[in-house]
A and B are shown apart, each in its own frame.
Chain A
């Protein structure tokens, strides 16, 4: 009698956890793709101080922002031209106090114009300083 032996050399690994493994991988890749770091511009704004003497302010570069316009030291300029103009103004100034750029803006200036102006100052390695008009109540004697 010939005895036939079963050849059980083909062994299949248990595949019951394959679905879970695939699900985990899908979740990991979805999470990695959805978490996008937010880029931006880092600014160090000096803490505020009251300056009475306006002659000291006139030494610094001034940018005036309004709803429609941008002016650099009194000259109207396109916001895209601000960076090369600032680099020219700040060239040769090595001290930090000489690289101060004062930003004045009208109350209705849109934020995107302000951000682009401040970004240009930062790229020109200037020091961003915001000038805010202070309201004073003056009592007039009768």
Chain B
């Protein structure tokens, strides 16, 4: 009598593949931020009676060396108003907000012209500060 052996088949359990794919999607969505200015070195000013964050599509930063950044990219003062106007084209007046991150020891020689350039683009300035707890 011939005994036929069944060839063993090893299958990788694929039940968790959906979960693995879901996790990877979440990781990459979180990491891919449109306004990545995490490389800008700055320390916020402390202030009291601050407001909740306003949704902002544009972020302007002044770092420890008084360098100016628009959405994480270096930019000159002369180009700032035009670029902000392009980024806020078609946005309603209430939503024209620019997030302004200024290093606490930066000088007004850089700060004021930057704030003026943002105002010229027809946007409100949302100065990011650290809430002072009393």
Interface residues of A (CB under 8 A from B): 16-17, 20, 23-24, 27, 31, 37-48, 65, 105-112, 114-116, 118-119, 123, 130, 132
A16 touches B51 (CB 8 A): no
Residue of A whose beta carbon sits closest to that of B102: A111
CA distance A119 to B62 in the complex (A): 19
Known: A27-B23, A45-B125. A132 touches B53 (CB 8 A): no
Known: A24-B23, A37-B53, A45-B125. A107 touches B109 (CB 8 A): yes
Residue of B whose beta carbon sits closest to that of A45: B119
B116 touches A45 (CB 8 A): yes
Nearest CB in chain B: distance from A26 CB, A: 11
Partner of B108, one of A40, A41, A109, A116: A109
Partner of B49, one of A20, A23, A108, A123: A123
Known: A107-B107, A108-B107, A111-B105. A39 touches B119 (CB 8 A): no
**Which of B2-10, B67-75, B83-91, B126-134 is the contact stretch?**
B126-134
Known: A17-B19, A45-B115. A39 touches B53 (CB 8 A): yes
Contacts of A123 in B (CB 8 A): 49
